[in-house]
Structure 1
Amino acid sequence: MVTGKTSMKTVVELIRGDTDDKGIVPLTSLDIYEGIYAIGFAFFFRNSLDEKSLKASLVKTLKEFPVLTGRLRNDKRKGQQYVHCNDHGLRFTVAHSVMPMADYGPANHAKDISRRFIDDIVPWKVKNRNYPLATIKLTHMQGGGSVLGVSILHSIADGESYFHFIDSWARTHRGLPFEPPCHDRMLLENEMALENYPRHHRGFRVLSRSGMLRSAVQFLRSKRSIHSEIIHFTRGELDNMKKAASRSDTGETQRISTNDALCGHLWQVMASLKDKDKDRRRLLFVANIRKKCHPPLPEHFFGNASLHMILDLDHETLVRAPLSQVAAISRKQVNAIDQGAINEQMAWLRHRFRKGELLRVFADYDPFRDDLFISSDAPYNGYGADFGSGAPFWITIGTYPVPWSLLFMPDSTRKEGIDVHTHLSGPMMRKFMSPEIQHALHRHRSELINY
């Protein structure tokens, strides 16, 4: 673990897109729900990035991303939250570190110091204030190399939108064109779909005020006790895993994605960490719905477009069932997503917002009772973010204050595998890293199986 100061000098300024007032971009209820978080990643480059040219290309890029330099407003009279695209700027910080660039990667992931490279956004400060919705921090390491930390309020962007911005900025920096984003968020939430809302929604729950307090205390306590490790799955492992998951109990081939197979495999292994202390095991995963909408959302829709999916299985069934059975349950849930399911979620969230309850809405799972959360940014080209000095050799997320959570990221070796960022309490992480569990995690390596 690295201790002591990491930077000796910092310079902070606001970067604007040099655009006229672009009006407002109304937020959907899903955007507002996600607003208690920010998305932040640190990109590590072996060669130093040029500060002046980075800022110049950023200004050009921001012309197409006016929400990033706007300010969040809440109109209680109209019952609406929106971004006023007034080009008040995002915060750009330059720091000079006394640390040399280390050889970061899955075995040395830098999560214990990643917060030092990311200028955090404080979500409860942004509403109706002159507070930036995005921050960038460029840290020059001693002896060469740079770390680029980018944080965006989750109300403004989900993972796909976040990495579209990063890719667009990198392409602009290299003099290449990029596909401009679509900022019409009302394509996802229209008034007709909101008229009939369900009384309950399986993906969410409304906490009481005392429940909110208990949850806040749990998060604050867990923040210091969470340990992180990265588990790397090779392309060969993933192919073998998918092959095993695609073979049904009857021997027939079923349509299963790599993501289905990996989610099912990890859910089974994570469940095996615990004795049968409860009858049911719950998995929450987030499904991208851009192509599930009817008609599909534009390819570069900028905002939040996801559906909360809840899976429950009996503990014994989960740990003993063949992977094909568990993966098929996940695939069935994803296949069932249609415009009706999307409308139900959006209508339920909008109704909670109109009742003033949205701040008390949480995903319907309990990470403090070992329910598992899985999200994936693996499809996005973070390692293609070349700002003129070569692509990043490592990307890591900032502090993740939720235990029992897994984030899929692209393969840092560029060999089409997946890096799984794993977050658990200290005692549970020690068990997770034991030889027995590691063998179970990698049982689909070619040398360990015989098809």
Structure 2
Amino acid sequence: MVVSYKTSYTVKPAEPTWTGSLSLSEWDQIGSITHVPTLYFYQPSQKLLIDTVITTLKDSLSRALVHFYPLAGRLRWIGHGRLELVCNAAGVQFIEAVSQSKLYSFGEFSQSPEYDFLIPTVDYTIPIQELPLLIVQVTKFQCGGISLGFTISHVVADGQSALHFLSEWARLARGEALAVSPFIDRKLLRAGDPPVLAHPILDHTEFNSHPPHLIGQTNNIEERKKKTTVAMLKLTKSQVDKLKNMATNKSLNTGRPYSRYETIAGHIWQCACKARDHNAEQPTALGVCVDSRSRLQPPLPPGYFGNTTLDVIAVSSSGELISKPLGYAASKIRKAIMTVNDEYLRSGIEFLKSQADLTKFQDLHALGGDDGPFYGNPNIQVVSWLTLPIYGLDFGWGREVHMGLAAHDFNDGDSLILLSHDDHEDGSLVVALCLQISHMEAFKNYFYQDI
């Protein structure tokens, strides 16, 4: 795909906003500290006049930044792997682009590396204090349709917060009032506070240990070098129900049926072990991303704007996962999730505050670093977007016809469960999965074999 970039603007808040340094919580500063992309496609219509679209988006974005002013600021390193957010209204980047392609050239909008041309590129050679925290790209296609590509700093917003911003921006573009104002103060998560030495710290295996390596290897350097590919695997509601029935084994179940996430994540884990052809004694870990908004006591307020997710680890051996029923894998995942309560979350904050440096807890792959978490072979990470409002983003010209993911945001072992765009109302799901090329076809076969 050939994409021509016409112009780039800096969009600033429409009104004066608070300025100063905003302390970040520990959860803002671990895991991914780069930008996360999303992509929406809109079909041609009488309302989709490009000049009107650009004006509407820029004006409403400027008004949205009055409320979500941290996105118009910049990050700054303050030493020891820690960051702070400088709220200075420096603005966000807004790019106009054109493509000679047509929307229907994407076929059924299957995952495509060409999506990467439609999402803004972040130049991490630029000092972090100069990088916009939000970059928007509007691309007009020959047919008259458009795509909107967004990339938002994960330091400033997790998935829930990023989608909150996008939905409120869309409401303003439609001429409506804000539905839920963002809650900006991160002091609820003790942002900027010193450690409390008397506070008990529990055993946090997600921080204290590295994911297993392949037996016989002392690091994952060779695994990182291997080529990967991304697949979008659809599950109908009947297939999801069949997996849930398979997982609900009375000898393993703890009382309530396993959730869609527990079931499908367990199925992915089992299939990955088979496809990777592990030895039976091979240790393997599954990373689970848990949203803490409702798990803290009291719960965080609606509209809390920041990061509230904590990764926990389920561990087993490949032999046990493959030889035992699906309910065994699901039970391991449930056990990891159930550790995340108010005490555990506050202990996790205290643990991170007590660290001399946070660098080793950060995923720096996009910044050119080799450190940080790695869930490649023999491990995986399964993230759920099942409860996120990722569809129906209407800026005034109708809902998107498709929401896409950027392939470059995936690494070996990364997977994502989300509702199917076209059939989500009937319960169909999609698993976006990245594996080494040599393992993908075997994984697909195992994934669908019994369902």
- 1:115 corresponds to which residue? 116
1:13 matched to which residue of 2?
Answer: 9
- For 2:252 and 2:317, the matched residues in 1 are separated by 22
1:156 Cα deviation from its structure 2 partner = 0.6
Q: CA deviation at 1:14?
A: 0.4
| Alpha-carbon offset, residue 246 of structure 1 | 3.2
Which position in structure 2 is the counterpart of 1:39?
36
Partner Cα separation in structure 2 for residue 319 and residue 62 of structure 1: 50
Asked whether 1:412 is paired with 2:421, we answer yes
Identity across matched positions, percent: 22
CA 384–251 in structure 1, closer or farther in 2 if over 3 Å, else same: closer
Give the structure 1 partner of residue 83 of structure 2. 81
Q: Distance in 2 between the 1:328 and 1:239 partners?
A: 17
In the alignment, what sits opposite 2:400? 392
How many pairs align? 421
TM-score normalised according to structure 2 size: 0.85
Q: Which moved more, 1:230-239 or 1:90-99?
A: 230-239
Q: CA deviation at 1:63?
A: 1.3
Name the CA distance, whole Å, in 2 between partners of 1:401 and 1:244: 29
- TM-fit CA distance, 1:429: 1.7
Q: Do 2:375 and 2:412's aligned partners in 1 also have CA atoms closer than 8 Å?
A: yes
Deviations along 1:52-83, one digit per CA (max 9) or x if unpaired, are: 11112211211110011111123459x96322
Asked if the contact 2:377/2:412 (under 8 Å) is kept, the reply is no
For 2:354 and 2:222, locate their aligned partners in 1 and report how far apart those are by CA, in whole Å: 27
Question: Residue 58 of structure 2 is aligned with which of 43, 52, 55?
Answer: 55
Q: How does 1:35-434 map to 2 (within 5 A)?
A: 36-47=33-44, 48=48, 50-76=53-79, 81-102=83-104, 104=106, 108-123=109-124, 125-127=126-128, 129-177=129-177, 178-189=179-190, 191=193, 194-195=196-197, 196=199, 198=201, 201-204=204-207, 221=225, 225-249=227-251, 253-277=255-279, 278-352=281-355, 355=356, 357-361=357-361, 366-398=374-406, 399-413=408-422, 414-415=424-425, 416-433=427-444
Q: How far, CA to CA, are the matches of 1:124 and 1:295 in structure 2?
A: 41
Q: CA deviation at 1:406?
A: 0.4
Distance 1:274 1:131, change over 3 A: closer
Give the unaligned 5+ runs of structure 2.
Answer: 211-218, 364-371
Cα distance between partner residues in 2 of 1:252 and 1:17: 51
Q: CA deviation at 1:339?
A: 1.7
**TM-score, scaled relative to structure 1:** 0.85
Partner amino acid for 1:134? L
Letter in 2 for 1:294: Q
SS for the counterpart of 1:343 is: helix
**Selected match of 2:27 from 10, 26, 30:** 30
User: Matches of 1:8 and 1:280 in 2, distance apart?
Assistant: 48
Instruction: Deviation per CA, 1:243-282: give whole Å up to 9, x if none.
Output: 3323422788534222111111211122211223352221
> How far is the alpha carbon of 1:16 from its aligned partner?
0.9
Matches of 1:114 and 1:430 in 2, distance apart?
23
Bigger Cα displacement from structure 2, 275-284 vs 166-175: 275-284
Measure, in 1, the Cα distance between the counterparts of 2:301 and 2:127.
28
1:241, 1:319 → 2: CA distance? 15
Shift of 1:176: 2.6
Q: State how far apart, in whole Å, the 1-side matches of 2:90 and 2:200 are.
A: 37
Higher mean Cα deviation, 6-15 or 301-310?
6-15
Q: What is the CA RMSD across the aligned residues, in angstroms?
A: 2.8
Question: What amino acid is the match of 1:316?
Answer: G
Mapped to 2, the partners of 1:342 and 1:41 lie a distance apart of: 28
Separation (CA, whole Å) in 2 of partners of 1:328 and 1:367: 20
Gap change, CA 1:432 and 1:103, over 3 Å in 2: farther
How far, CA to CA, are the matches of 1:80 and 1:362 in structure 2?
10
The match for 2:213 is: none
Mapped partners of 1:217, 1:326: distance in 2: 28
**CA deviation vs aligned residue, 1:351-407 (integer Å, no higher than 9, x gap):** 33xx2x312225886434320111122211221101222211222222124101101
Shift of 1:409: 2.2
